[in-house]
Structure 1
Amino acid sequence: MESRLIAATLLLCCFGYACAGNMPDYIKICHRNDPELSKCVKQSVHNLRPYLGKGIKEINVPALEPLYIGDLNILEGGSSGITVKAKKLNIFGASNFEITKMRASTQNRRFDFELLLPLLQGDGQYDINGNILALPIKGNGPFVGNFTNFVAYVRITYDVRNVNDIDYFEVKEFALKIRTGKGRLRLENLFNGDKVLGDVINQTINENFELFTNEVIAPIARALEVKFLAIATKILENFTYNELFPV
């Protein structure tokens, strides 16, 4: 009886090691009772970065580089009555984030973390009409932008969903806020290509970059929420809760 119990124990241990060994390289296991769980989760997310940039074909996670936002109504009648629309919006550099703060709790089923986005680049088409600092602005055409040291605050709450006696990680809420940093924008073809007026507006925007981006950042953050939630969900649905967070 004792020998059979020992054999069964060894079999379970071997099975456990085999399961762990079968986990892909992009998944770093964090034990839910780890006293340094926050540190482990931070390392786990950082481990994912190069895979997110290229995409993970085996579980249908699209590449994060570039991050395609598409068409977006950025601002409709803001504080100065300005309307801003973007089309075919692409963002580069989103996978180069760095987690600067992390608080993870499996007991509260919540993760809070702060991301530094050291360098983002964007391009696409724009349509703008309204006033910036009492200056009229109107035009449509291509734009490019460089953005440095933007900070994102992310809150994730989740449930553990049981399906056929197997627990899965299910995201309840994915909330993201962005604090703008520095950067430069270039809008081409303002005022039907009037270079003098166009240069004045571009200079005004860049001299007041933080004011301008604070006005338009909220809908961009909402669009990023949708994109990141889809990526997180796609990763999590391929693994059980016990595989990701064993005891």
Structure 2
Amino acid sequence: MQSNLVFVALLLFVGAASAGNMPDYIKVCHRNDPELSKCLKNSVHNLRPYLADGIKDINVPAMEPLYIGDLNILEGGTTGITVKAKKLNIYGASNFEITKMRASTANTRFDFELLLPNLRGEGLYEINGNILALPIRGNGPFVGNFTNFVAYVRILYDVKNINDIDYLHVKEFALKIRTGKGRLRLDNLFNGDKVLGDVINDTVNQNFELFTNEVIAPIARALESKFLAITTKILENFTYNELFPL
């Protein structure tokens, strides 16, 4: 009995020591905390301002802007329209807010809902096809402003032992986006024909939700990849016991 108490005391001491040595951007949560979900929400919100400029000492890249690069958004299919984005940058992704969080250590799963209040996308586009029976073609710069988009994230994880040290490992990272409101501006449509360009831009923005619902899936996959890379980079720099002490 006494040896068990000593063992528990040592574990608590190690956990406390590890937490005390953690950098300011990491707020640890005890794995048996009855309010683990609330603790994790606060921990992620504490991390948020550091993500904008990146965390150099653990090689986490800056999220402002979040560089997506080139993306095939639509490739014909049922819509008959092809849309490509190039050199795509997204601004405002670090300014998220967790509105719901559910953590289950028994199911090794985290589920949370993120509000993305203001996003701005900039880059180049290529488009060819028809929108609401209107022919549309062109290429050039574009700007998009998006408000109140919501992301649903599911993380399944396990604990991997590497050289006798336990690390949290992401088995599955899934992200879906529900579109909100916004406006797009595609420049140089129809080789710069202002009248036709304004008609298409007005049509797209009057049917913004319909248009974004068509193109959001590949954007969500790109964001999923970026967020997974950032999450993995953080987790590989800290042990399971450091992040989630007893």
Pair in the same fold by TM > 0.5:
yes
Give yes or no for contact 2:15–2:242 (8 Å, CA) kept in 1.
Answer: no
Change (3 A) 1:14 1:48: same
Instruction: Tell me the secondary structure at the aligned position of residue 220 of structure 2.
Output: helix
- 1:96 match: 95
User: Identity rate of aligned residues, in percent?
Assistant: 83
Decide whether the 8 Å contact of 1:90 with 1:124 is kept in 2. Answer: yes
Give the secondary-structure state (helix, strand or coil) at the position aligned to 2:222: helix
Map 1:34-45 to 2 at 5 A.
34-45=33-44
Aligned to 2:125: 126
Greater relative contact order (CA < 8 Å, ≥ 6 in sequence): 2
Identify the residue that residue 47 of structure 2 maps to in structure 1.
48
| Matched position secondary structure for 2:188 | coil
The structural deviation recorded for 1:81 is 0.1
* Inter-partner Cα distance in structure 2 for 1:110 and 1:10: 28
Residue in structure 2 matched with residue 181 of structure 1 by the alignment: 180
Alpha-carbon separation, structure 2, partners of 1:9 and 1:33: 14
Compute the displacement of 1:65 (Å).
Answer: 0.4
CA distance in 1, matches of 2:96, 2:216: 18
Q: What do residues 76-97 of structure 1 show as CA deviations (whole Å, max 9, x unaligned)?
A: 0143200000000000000000
SS state at 2:174 partner: strand
Q: Kindly state the Cα deviation for residue 241 of structure 1 after the two structures are TM-superposed.
A: 0.5
Structure 2 CA distance, aligned partners of 1:107 and 1:8?
23
- Which residue of the partner structure matches residue 144 of structure 1? 143
Question: What is the distance in 1 between the residues matched to 2:32 and 2:24?
Answer: 22
**Contiguous gaps of at least 5 residues in structure 2:** none
RMSD: 1.9
Could you tell me how far apart the structure 1 residues matched to 2:189 and 2:90 are?
22
Take 1:10 and 1:168, find their aligned partners in 2: how far apart are those partners? 22
Look up the match of 2:194: 195
Normalising by structure 2, we get a TM-score of: 0.94
Aligned counterpart, 2:162: 163
1:1-247 superposed matches below 5 A? 16-247=15-246
Query: Could you tell which deviates more after superposition, 95-104 or 72-81?
Result: 72-81
Q: The residue matched to 1:139 in structure 2 has which SS?
A: strand
Letter in structure 2 aligned against 1:212: F
Count of residue correspondences: 243
- Offset at 1:12? 7.5
Structure 1's 167 and 203: CA in aligned 2 closer, same or farther, altered over 3 A? same
Unaligned 5+ residue runs, structure 1? none
Q: Distance in 2 between matches of 1:141 and 1:100?
A: 36
Cα drift, residue 11 of structure 1: 8.2
Q: Which digits, 9 at most, give the CA deviation of each residue in 1:146-166, with x for residues without a partner?
A: 000000000000010011221
Q: Return the alpha-carbon distance in structure 2 between the equivalents of residues 16 and 32 of structure 1.
A: 11
1:107-166 superposed Cα distances (whole Å, 9 cap, x missing partner): 111000000000000100000000000100000000001000000000000010011221
Range with greater deviation from structure 2 (94-103 or 14-23):
14-23
CA distance in 2, matches of 1:155, 1:125: 31
- Which secondary structure state, in structure 2, belongs to the residue aligned with residue 28 of structure 1? coil
Structure 1 length as normaliser, TM-score?
A: 0.94
C-alpha distance in 1 between matches for 2:35 and 2:54: 29
Alignment deviations for residues 168-196 of structure 1 (CA, whole Å, 9 cap, x no partner): 00000000000000000000000000000
Cα 1:41–1:10 change in 2 (3 A) is closer
Q: Distance in 1 between matches of 2:35 and 2:7?
A: 32
**What letter matches 2:237 in structure 1?**
N
The SS at the match of 2:94 is helix
